[in-house]
Amino acid sequence: LKLRTDMQYELRELQQRLGITFVFVTHDQEEALAMSDWIFVMNDGEIVQSGTPVDIYDEPINHFVATFIGESNILPGTMIEDYLVEFNGKRFEAVDGGMKPNEPVEVVIRPEDLRITLPEEGKLQVKVDTQLFRGVHYEIIAYDELGNEWMIHSTRKAIVGEEIGLDFESEDIHIMRLNETEEEFDARIEEYVEIEEQEAGLINAIEEERDEENKL
């Protein structure tokens, strides 16, 4: 393992020193994230998503990418409206938009984005089933009252059988449309960004107009 890690550093240093493009093919997800400036995720011989390591990890386009790159908690949900998603029978604020009202989606929350709290303080309540020590963190498997499995990465040790709360921020919720292609994903994001910029420009114009009126 150490030899493989050392090789990653050496290849990265060599590529930067020579200033040429490397095509690096790997089935190791962590290696792909560590080595790449740009990643192409392929399935059945087709590119399903491309982007920077951060983009691929934080905004997976579909179920395959979300499970292939890193660990994920994936649940069925409904996009009620922009910035509002429903899953596990509850509604949560989100940062995604540009979808149809009440559109079925998949919700992704990474294990490291879940924080353990007291049951009454959490957005969700789960019961701890198993726990493994991974060195830098504990890997905890828990189940909610609906039977959904949750993986949590935490530096806090849990007790098997205890009920805990799970907390997360709206930025930790990633929304995936069902069967969306990369072209559709890019077009939706581009259109949504344009709308956001237009709305921001309108708000700024109104505020500037009010400032001018206050000066009179």
Q: Between the CA atoms of 23, 24, 26 and 29, what dihedral angle is there, to the nearest 10 degrees?
A: -100
Structural domain contains residue 5: no
In a domain, 57, yes or no: no
Question: In the block, which residue shows the tokens 């930025």?
Answer: 171
Per the model's pLDDT, the better-predicted residue between 15 and 99 turns out to be: 99
Residue 118 has pLDDT above 70, yes or no: yes
Report which residue type is found at 203.
Answer: I
Strand partners, 175: 107
Q: Is there a domain that residue 189 lies in?
A: no
**Angstrom distance (rounded) from CA 189 to CA 61:** 11
Partners of 125 in the β-ladder: 165
What is the Cα–Cα distance from 105 to 75, expressed in whole angstroms?
Answer: 9
Residue 205 counted as domain residue: no
Total structural domains in the chain? 1
CB 38 within 8 A of CB 23: no
Q: Within a domain: residue 119?
A: yes
pTM score: 0.75
Structure confidence by residue, pLDDT tens digits, 121-136:
999 999 999 999 999 9
Domain-embedded: residue 187:
no
What does the pLDDT read at residue 76? 96
Per residue in 38-62, pLDDT tens? 899 988 888 989 999 898 998 898 8
74-104 CB burial, b ≥16 within 10 A, e <16: bbebbbbebebbbbbeeebebebbbbeeeee
- Residue, of 187 and 128, whose pLDDT is higher: 128
